[in-house]
Structure 1
Amino acid sequence: MPPFEVAVTGLGLVTPAGADVAENWDRVRSGRSCASLDETLPDPTVTCRVRGFDADAALGPFAARQTERFVQLAVVAARQAVADAGWDTGAWDGARVGIVLGNSLGGMQSVERQHANLLGGDPRAVSPLLLPMFMVNMVSGYVAIDLDARGPSQVTATACASGTTAVGTARELLRSRACDIVVAGGTESALTPLVLAAFRRMGVLSRRCDEPATACRPFDVDRDGLVAAEGAGVLVLERLADARARNAHVRAVVRGYGAATDAYHVAAPEPNGRGIELALRAALKDAQLTGSDVDHVNAHGTSTLQNDVIEARVLRRVLGGRSLVTSTKGVTGHALAAAGALEAAYTVLAIEHGVVPPTANLMTVDPAVELDVVRAAERKAPVEVAVSTSLGFGGHNAALVFTAA
């Protein structure tokens, strides 16, 4: 039986790297970091925020007041992706359209604000909108309302693998014929004092507050931690035969998906990379390809001490040394549950343009990283097969295999 092929017919991106796909791709190709010292926080912290996003203008003042930022970013990215795919939501059969979006932390801004109101002594000061503003599932609900998508909708919550899990889950909805179109991806906006304090206490954030632009250094020997980010990435997926039948522009094809769990530790990756290796091998088997077929990897590459070496060793074992590897987190930072969706979109663009972006801020490759990591400048090369990998707290691992259309 041939592999099940799903067409990527639309992309939408609202990230620190830009307000749309074109801006994102230009910034990622440039290798210029989006990180800066975050002056909204009580302690010095480097973050990557989405700049200039106007929710009132994008959604209208009423809708903007009723939704939290992680929803707002997703709605705008979803609109972009659907328009890019050439669909008119007023004309499509909404009952055949599904929504699968990754998210982990929901509307933490609302939680922190309303908790402060409660601590003020008056429970009546807590907003009646608190629950729908912070619950993680609400993002798929709001996007479904906005797009008139009445098929299955859900949120995947596998920490930093959530966006990748969402795309894999969407592919299964298409395989089962529960849907004809699935709007899939991930969103996160949780750069709040409480969340960042928690990350800081875990010791995973970069401490380079005096040089924020170079704080995130995936695969570098001097890396010292991740830079937290926000953003949303959305892909429109359709069965390849259906997309071709309507003469859609197929940007790339999702040909394989794999997922596995470390079953080792709630936060630390399994030292031998057992979970991500299982996920990657499963994705390649699903795609009916081998490691030697892979031209490019958009790696999870968080700039943390353990992740980068463990992931690099797995990539070397499974793929060999031929693949051109990059981590776009050097530019965007780590968008947590949205990261896999952003990186899936960048992987599609690498295939489409025959360009592998550089890993920003990579000065000296860690000797333990025995891979061809693209650095300093983009590298032009034919990309017929590409992989995107994601790892998350709880031991969640997921991998996607994309091929040229």
Structure 2
Amino acid sequence: MPKKFEEFKLNRQILNAVEEAGFTEATPIQEKAIGPVLSGQDLFGIAQTGTGKTAAYVLPMLMKLKYAQGENPRALILVPTRELALQIEEQVRLFSTYTDLRTVVIFGGIGPKTQKEQIAKGLDILVATPGRFLDLYLTGDINTRSLQFLVLDEADKMMDMGFIGSIHRILEVVPRKRQNLLFSATMSDLVHKIAGDFLKNPLTIEVAAQATPAQTVTQKMYAVPNFKTKINLLAHLLKDDEFKRLIIFCKTKTVADNINNFIARRFGEDAVRVIHANKGQNTRINSINSFKEGNVRILVATDVASRGIDVSEVSHVINFDVPIVTEDYVHRIGRTGRAFNEGIAITFYNEAERYYIDKIEKLIRQKIDEEEIPQSIFIEETPFDERQAIAREIDAQKRKENPDFKGAFHEKKKQYTSPTKKNNKKSYPSKNKKRR
């Protein structure tokens, strides 16, 4: 039987906030982590997104901080993206409703003036991205001498984004005597290294096999030869009423904008929003809030948002493109099947993306069910440029696995870089035929 929050050594103010937030039973990560964090242990938590890990460290942290004290932060939570920073700040505020604890969130992409003013008023908990934290520390706006807690959340994403240098610089400027908590969905070599540098005799908690998707997520995939056919399949799926609230993940900003424009034309501008790195901060926040509130049904996003959206009733995730960083697959599909709800994750892949599907299946240690493209879907002819890009990508993959591999684009075949139309047909035959 899952443990109830009433059974933990939490005070009445925190329990009232938890109850009002609609939580009664602890998730496995919360059940395993809250007690050790309360007892002062360093902790290494391996937990996928959607398992409730934020509350697993925020609740005992609030209990130990108890009330507002001094002007400088006593807890620092470091996260890789501004979306995740805002999400965690929201949860901290939710659970600290009946306390006087003060929380400030800081991140890049906007001017620091307002953030500096908020810090100057005094705070207890600081939620920050590494770059902005270092910026404000170096200008003297953040004083770390009172820090008691240091949390690294989504450590694997931080390593993927190249933050290891920033993390090491931060470790040099925080007090040696502190409690450390590290959470990651996967255990890469870099995560293992930072854990060794960061944690002291930690308790390791793993609530599921590393990088396994939530059991509440059903996974499917379709072999789709090209971009236009992916669009045709997407349009077919979106007609189904079971796609109540969904996120469509893309590899690039250009593809995200194209899909957003297509859906807006087909289903109306009120049905969809798009977020990626070129969108302003306020636009991204407003788009996520509209999606959370149910005002729009579809959110199109690049991986900038794969870990920054906490919406409990996302029915579907569609991977329009397969992520190149295989761990991102776990985080993308973790946007559905949250808080014990069921969800469906659908992935489209072309011939070049099969390489990454194989790596994903190895990572999650399970096969993804393959579905046949419905007969009603028109299979488009793959344009020459796209066919060429796919061939180049496959060559690069083979060369990566075998440095001696000589592909269609190696230096001895330079004549094929600008082939005639006749040679086109001969050199790059299309395997895709229109269904009649």
TM-score, normalising length: structure 1: 0.27
User: Is the radius of gyration larger for structure 1 or structure 2?
Assistant: 2
The structure with the greater share of residues assigned to strand is 1
By relative contact order (CA 8 Å, sep 6+), the higher-ranking structure is 1
Q: TM-score, normalised by structure 2?
A: 0.26
